[in-house]
């Protein structure tokens, strides 16, 4: 029994000496707080990472709801997909090469005959931002068609009602309506050339 009491007293003396010899100072508390903050990703400054992926033969099929469901198809011979991660936010951008795009703009009826307005475009390069659903293409050649039917077109037999060249175009599928903008466009509409 005396041995146990002596052992406990010895341990208490050793712990007390450790407290006196190695006291915890304000500097130690500050260092501990700094260590905690650095291990918490929410308090870190811009923690940026980046990765990319090369792809070939890319085809995107998108159904967009306007007054009726509209179809978009973006095809690219090659693409590079970029992932940018900063803190808890990820941005995904795809750079596309040799791009074609089919866009149904409107489905309607002429009497009982189903009809559609379709844009077809070709560009050497384009980009698509997945976060804000923004498509931007440069050096674009563009055709506009009025076709029979409501099925998405796979080829164009009838003549185009418009042919144009634009320095760039952009559209977004985010929001209530398709927002399509062409920059520095020269168009031929029904045989007449116009700058838009």
* Cα(162)–Cα(141) distance, integer angstroms: 11
CA distances from 129 to 14, 37, 47, 85, 178 (A): 65, 33, 21, 14, 15
With contact defined as beta carbons under 8 Å apart, do 155 and 125 qualify?
no
- Whether 143 contacts 126, CB under 8 Å: no
Question: What does the alpha-carbon distance between residue 141 and residue 187 come to, in Å, rounded to a whole number?
Answer: 10
Q: What is the pLDDT of residue 43?
A: 47
Query: Sorting pLDDT into bands at 50, 70 and 90, what band is 60?
Result: confident
CA-CA distances (angstroms) from residue 46 to 12, 29, 77? Answer: 48, 26, 35
Percent of the chain beyond pLDDT 90?
35
Residue 174 pLDDT class (50, 70, 90 cuts): confident
CA dihedral 186, 190, 191, 196 (to 10 degrees): -20
Q: How confident is the model at residue 19 (pLDDT cuts 50, 70, 90)?
A: very low
Of 190, 171, 172, 99, the C-alpha closest to 139 is 99
pTM of the entire structure? Answer: 0.68
Q: Which of 178, 182, 114 is nearest to 148 (CA)?
A: 114
Report the relative pairing of strands 69-86 and 89-110 from DSSP bridges: antiparallel
Query: How much is the average pLDDT of 169-173?
Result: 86
Helices (H), the chain: 2-21, 26-38
pLDDT band of residue 85 (cuts 50, 70, 90) is: confident
pLDDT value at 64 more than 70:
yes
Write down the pLDDT at residue 90. 85
**For the residues 76-94, what does the mean pLDDT come to?**
88
Is pLDDT at 35 greater than 60 in this prediction?
yes
Residue 193's φ and ψ, nearest 5 degrees, are -85, 140
How far apart (Å, rounded) are the C-alpha atoms in residues 44 and 8?
A: 46
Length of the chain: 196
Interacting residues of 84 by C-beta distance below 8 A, sequence separation 6+: 48, 49, 50, 90, 91, 92, 93
Range from 15-24, 44-53, 79-88 that averages highest in pLDDT? 79-88
46 three-state secondary structure: coil
Name the residue with higher pLDDT: 130 or 13: 130
Cα separation of the two ends of the chain:
102
Question: 116-155 pLDDT, tens per residue?
Answer: 999 999 999 999 998 888 899 999 999 999 999 999 888 8
């Amino acid at each position: 029994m005396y041995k146990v009491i002596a052992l406990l007293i010895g341990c208490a003396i050793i712990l007390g000496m450790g407290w006196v010899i190695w006291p915890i100072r304000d500097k130690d508390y500050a260092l501990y707080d700094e260590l905690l903050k650095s291990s918490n990703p929410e308090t870190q400054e811009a923690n940026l990472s980046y990765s990319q992926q090369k792809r070939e033969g890319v085809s995107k099929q998108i159904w967009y709801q306007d007054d009726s469901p509209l179809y978009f198809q973006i095809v690219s011979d090659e693409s590079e997909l970029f992932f940018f991660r900063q803190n808890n936010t990820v941005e995904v951008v795809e750079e596309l090469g040799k791009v074609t795009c089919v866009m149904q703009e409107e489905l309607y009826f002429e009497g009982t005959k189903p009809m559609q307005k379709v844009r077809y475009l070709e560009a050497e390069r384009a980009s698509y931002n997945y976060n804000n659903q923004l498509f931007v293409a440069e050096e674009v050649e563009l055709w506009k068609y009025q076709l029979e039917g409501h099925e998405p077109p796979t080829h164009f037999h009838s003549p185009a009602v418009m042919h144009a060249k634009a320095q760039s175009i952009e559209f977004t599928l985010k929001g209530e309506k398709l927002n399509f903008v062409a920059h520095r466009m020269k168009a031929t509409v029904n045989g007449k050339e116009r700058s838009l």
